[in-house]
A and B are shown apart, each in its own frame.
Chain A
Amino acid sequence: MRTITAPDLEDIAFGAAVLGTGGGGDPYIGKLLARGAVEAHGPVTLLSLEELPDDAHVITCGAMGAPTIVLEKVPSGEEMLMAMRHYEAMTGKTVTAIMPFEAGGLNSCLPIVLAAQTGLPLVDADGMGRAFPQLEMETFNVYGVSASPVAMADEKGNLALVETDSAAKAEFMARGICIRMGGQANLVNYPMDGRTAKRVSVPATMSLAQDIGRVVREARSAKREPTEALIEFLGTTHYGFARRIGSGKITDIARKVENGWSVGVVSIAPFEEGLPYVIRIQNENLVVEQGGHVLAVVPDLICLLDVDTAEPIPTERLRYGQRVDIIGIRVPPIMRTPEALAVFGPKAFGLMAAYQPLGITAA
């Protein structure tokens, strides 16, 4: 069992930004909120899935909407608590454990706030293993847990409860409410018992985020190349494989709007000889190709890290001239099944590429 204290939050926020694969929102504000909550209410207990009692009543939680909104309309810090109390009031159930629904980006830190405020344990797992743009892109949904009821709250105390027959519909309804709540809403969803959580969750992702932050921090202070240390470490985790796909300088970023989504194509000229790497972005980095050949594709993680500092660069901060390492990280087996790929594989993002897990040669 781990305990999350205030100093751990730096590492967690760093790791969450790596797992954000360019999206998921800057964890900075989440880190400040979590730090304030942990300082006020004490450390948070992080329970592994093995330690989670089978009869626990688990809810998952996080925020939806535009991270840019959070940068300006800083949360009150009580939104998630209101959403959870609303869920309990409407269902008559009592929550006994809290799980993040998204380990990548800002959403890694918000459940820590709720856990600190309620004194409930935080489950060391999530439903995305990274960042994804939509609520149905969860292993919980893939393996049969209903997203509903979805309890939502904003900082003004406005509440909503959404009940639908599919996670995709819940996403559609909730996003509409989210806009009316000011572009950002906190929600509690995918209620399940402990036994189910063990079956349907991506394990140990909060501790993974923390370990990523720690490994990079330690490598920096040992004057070791941090990206190298990170790749080596990831190979020893349950994600099992990571590699440097390439390194180069950003030579072009084309952004455009398609169906209201911000879509971008980034070209990176390799430092050594070779054709440029081309990365397609829709909120997150989705696919990296070279000369029309797919090198890595969603759901595997494609992370752009600063070549010197290994600092992950969010998509909105990509600029001409930046020097980056392109890192590919394979997702764990629970995210690679045909059922999982149907929900968040290449096709779900409109990509033609077939999914070939990193580090596994096609048969």
Chain B
Amino acid sequence: MRIGIDVGGTNTDAVILDGDQVVGGCKSPTTEDVSSGIASALTTVMAQTGVPASAIQAVMIGTTHFTNAVVERRRLLQVAAIRIGLPATKGVLPMTDWPSDLADTLGRHSFMLRGGHEFDGREIAPLDEKGLVEVAREVRARGLRSASVTSVFSPVTAVMELRAAEILRNEVPGISLSLSHEIGRVGFLERENAAIMNACLADLSRKVVDSFRSALRQKGITAPFFISQNDGTLMTPEHVERYPVLTFASGPTNSMRGAARLAGIGDAMVVDIGGTTSDVGMLMQGFPRESAVAVDIGGVRTNFRMPDVLAIGLGGGSIVRDDGARIGPDSVGYEITSKALVFGGDTLTTTDIVVAAGLEDIGDRSRVAQVPASTIEAAIKEMHRKVDEAVDRMKTSADALPVILVGGGSILISRDLPSASRVIRPENAGVANAIGAAIAQVGGEVDRIYAMEGRSRDQVLGEAKAEASAAAIAAGAHPGSVQIMDIEEVPLAYLPGSATRIRVKAVGDLRMMQKEAAE
């Protein structure tokens, strides 16, 4: 059996799965320390199902904690942004297109050095090792504890980033390093942005992963645990400590994959209503449709492959104003249990509305008895209108599709939606994220530009496939279960015959779960 946990901004959910069967699930408020929220969710779900800690074979955790930290500019480290590539790249300085408050928070410590590679692996210039030693001294003098290193074409060859890491570790003992080739794909500024954001999370990631560890230990769970990343596959905790940025988009991915599993259909619209926002996306054959454009996180441009999701300001904690005519976009968030009327607070939230309407029984119903019927009706209409409009915008054709409602806030939608062929409210819809995390597989990916001169296409493709499969196995996939999921081959425009960008993704089942299944 396995446990899936989703640590959101408002709630921490836990589910226990036996194979494909949901044995039980529960929600619990997210706590400031993360750990006690997880522990309390685990206590509830284990008590509810009677599953002992010893029966748990693996724990999968999804979290939006790191995304929220960047968006809220909280608990971020100052970062030495080290770039290797001069004389190239000088035209656009690090953090050029960033929101200035975030760049200020990170201290604007930029360093640029000679080095980097061409698309075919030749050097632009040799790595300036002497310059790097000077940069390291400056980093020490400024008291910086975390650095990002981004070298031109490091997805083709990472040698300069690795050598730079060696030098920096020697010169600045204990420094946390974010190497861009471990994080992103081709696309220099976006990869550098991701590496810098990753570096500013170095302290927080250790603390959060530690709190995961201690929560599990506290509940006597000794099974290995994993954390889900952007594409819905799993990472080891050690990897997340070093590369928290890879979890940035895991929330919507988990929720959509969980929704697909719960509803048993692969093609649908998914509306995930949380405490603060609702994410609307489209499922195609069980996987989220990916965004084709650069994705902004906290105002910073990245090139993560993320589900194409529209977020609107509607959740279970959204504040209701103007006699129900205006909802959100602000929310009481995780403070719902003290601020909402039904919990004894003084703020009218969407949750209060559904309780007042008699649709749900949450908290103390008598505390919303005085909310006027006209306000209740207006607010319910406005909530449905907002969701319907978002679904319509995200659909890719005029045809009506089924809409799957998930997330803790899915109680807000009780009526039909004009844009949907039908509205599906699967059982356990409140914990779809946690289910998505629990069913995650292990993946490996290759995405780089291959020089084609002197090699055949088959040779290059074979090499890329083997490398992606090896990466999946190294990440913990059972070798027999690894499959190539996706191949994308784009010859470089305007350079006939010389180079092709190839992306291969391989996915397999987690090794230990395979073994258990066979026994």
Interface residue ranges, A against B (CB under 8 Å): 23, 29, 32-33, 36, 64-69, 71-78, 113, 133, 155-157, 175, 178-179, 182-183, 249, 255, 257, 259-262, 269, 271, 283, 308, 311, 313, 315-323
Interface size on B, residues (CB 8 A): 47
The answer, yes or no, to whether B359 is at the interface (CB within 8 Å) is no
Residue in chain A with minimal CB distance to B284: A321
Q: Least Cβ distance of B189 to chain A in Å?
A: 6
Would you call A74 and B188 a contact (CB within 8 A)?
yes
A73-B88, A182-B124 given; 13 more Cβ-contact pairs under 8 Å? A65-B494, A66-B499, A67-B494, A73-B119, A73-B188, A74-B188, A75-B88, A133-B494, A249-B397, A257-B491, A283-B494, A317-B292, A320-B396
B residues 98-155 in Cβ contact with A at 8 Å: 116, 118-120, 122, 124-125, 152-153
Q: Mark B496-517, 1 if CB is under 8 A from A, else 0.
A: 1111010000000000000000
Residue in chain B with minimal CB distance to A259: B496
Would you call B88 and A183 a contact (CB within 8 A)?
no
With a cutoff of 8 Å between Cβ atoms, the chain A residues found around residue B282 in the complex are 321
The answer, yes or no, to whether B187 is at the interface (CB within 8 Å) is yes
Question: Known: A68-B449, A74-B89, A261-B491. Is A321-B497 also a contact (CB below 8 A)?
Answer: no
Can you list 10 A-B pairs, Cβ within 8 angstroms, ordered by A? Answer: A32-B189, A74-B92, A156-B88, A183-B118, A183-B495, A259-B496, A271-B397, A320-B284, A321-B396, A323-B397
Residue in chain B with minimal CB distance to A316: B490
Q: Least Cβ distance of A102 to chain B in Å?
A: 11
Residue in chain B with minimal CB distance to A22: B493
The answer, yes or no, to whether B460 is at the interface (CB within 8 Å) is no
Complex alpha-carbon distance, A207 and B178, angstroms: 43
The answer, yes or no, to whether B91 is at the interface (CB within 8 Å) is yes
Question: Known: A316-B490, A321-B284. Is A72-B91 also a contact (CB below 8 A)?
Answer: no
Complex alpha-carbon distance, A41 and B489, angstroms: 41
Would you call B90 and A76 a contact (CB within 8 A)?
yes
Complex alpha-carbon distance, A312 and B23, angstroms: 48
B residues 57-106 in Cβ contact with A at 8 Å: 85-93, 96-97
Contact of B88 among A71, A76, A255, A262 (CB under 8 A): A76
Q: Least Cβ distance of A104 to chain B in Å?
A: 13
Residue in chain B with minimal CB distance to A35: B96
Would you call B189 and A74 a contact (CB within 8 A)?
yes
Q: Mark B472-492, 1 if CB is under 8 A from A, else 0.
A: 000000000000000001111
The answer, yes or no, to whether B518 is at the interface (CB within 8 Å) is no
Residue in chain B with minimal CB distance to A26: B294
Contact of B491 among A75, A260, A308 (CB under 8 A): A260
Is chain B's binding surface mostly helix, strand, loop or mixed? loop
The answer, yes or no, to whether B293 is at the interface (CB within 8 Å) is yes
Would you call A271 and B398 a contact (CB within 8 A)?
yes
Complex alpha-carbon distance, A315 and B494, angstroms: 13
With a cutoff of 8 Å between Cβ atoms, the chain B residues found around residue A315 in the complex are 493
Contact of B119 among A182, A317, A320 (CB under 8 A): A182
Complex alpha-carbon distance, A359 and B243, angstroms: 55
Would you call B490 and A36 a contact (CB within 8 A)?
no
Would you call B490 and A255 a contact (CB within 8 A)?
yes
With a cutoff of 8 Å between Cβ atoms, the chain B residues found around residue A69 in the complex are 119, 492, 495
The answer, yes or no, to whether B289 is at the interface (CB within 8 Å) is yes
Would you call B152 and A73 a contact (CB within 8 A)?
yes
Residue in chain A with minimal CB distance to B192: A74
With a cutoff of 8 Å between Cβ atoms, the chain B residues found around residue A316 in the complex are 490, 493
Of B119, B186, B489, B499, most buried by chain A (CB within 10 Å of CB) is B119
Question: Known: A72-B153, A260-B491. Is A249-B188 also a contact (CB below 8 A)?
Answer: no
Q: Mark B375-396, 1 if CB is under 8 A from A, else 0.
A: 0000000000000000001001
With a cutoff of 8 Å between Cβ atoms, the chain A residues found around residue B118 in the complex are 73, 182-183
Complex alpha-carbon distance, A269 and B90, angstroms: 44
With a cutoff of 8 Å between Cβ atoms, the chain A residues found around residue B492 in the complex are 66, 68-69, 183, 262
Would you call A179 and B91 a contact (CB within 8 A)?
no
Question: Known: A73-B124, A74-B91, A321-B282. Is A308-B495 also a contact (CB below 8 A)?
Answer: no
Of A69, A113, A269, A318, most buried by chain B (CB within 10 Å of CB) is A69
Residue in chain A with minimal CB distance to B393: A308
Complex alpha-carbon distance, A53 and B251, angstroms: 60
With a cutoff of 8 Å between Cβ atoms, the chain A residues found around residue B119 in the complex are 69, 72-73, 182-183
Would you call B92 and A66 a contact (CB within 8 A)?
no
Residue in chain A with minimal CB distance to B93: A36
Residue in chain B with minimal CB distance to A323: B396
Complex alpha-carbon distance, A127 and B477, angstroms: 55
Would you call B501 and A68 a contact (CB within 8 A)?
yes
With a cutoff of 8 Å between Cβ atoms, the chain A residues found around residue B393 in the complex are 308
Complex alpha-carbon distance, A257 and B501, angstroms: 12
Complex alpha-carbon distance, A68 and B188, angstroms: 10
With a cutoff of 8 Å between Cβ atoms, the chain B residues found around residue A262 in the complex are 490-493
Would you call A249 and B93 a contact (CB within 8 A)?
no
Question: Known: A68-B493, A321-B284. Is A155-B397 also a contact (CB below 8 A)?
Answer: no
Would you call A33 and B92 a contact (CB within 8 A)?
yes
List 6 tightest A-B contacts by C-beta distance, closest first. A77-B91, A260-B496, A260-B497, A321-B396, A66-B492, A74-B89
Contact of B498 among A74, A77, A183 (CB under 8 A): A183
Would you call A36 and B494 a contact (CB within 8 A)?
no
Would you call A157 and B87 a contact (CB within 8 A)?
yes
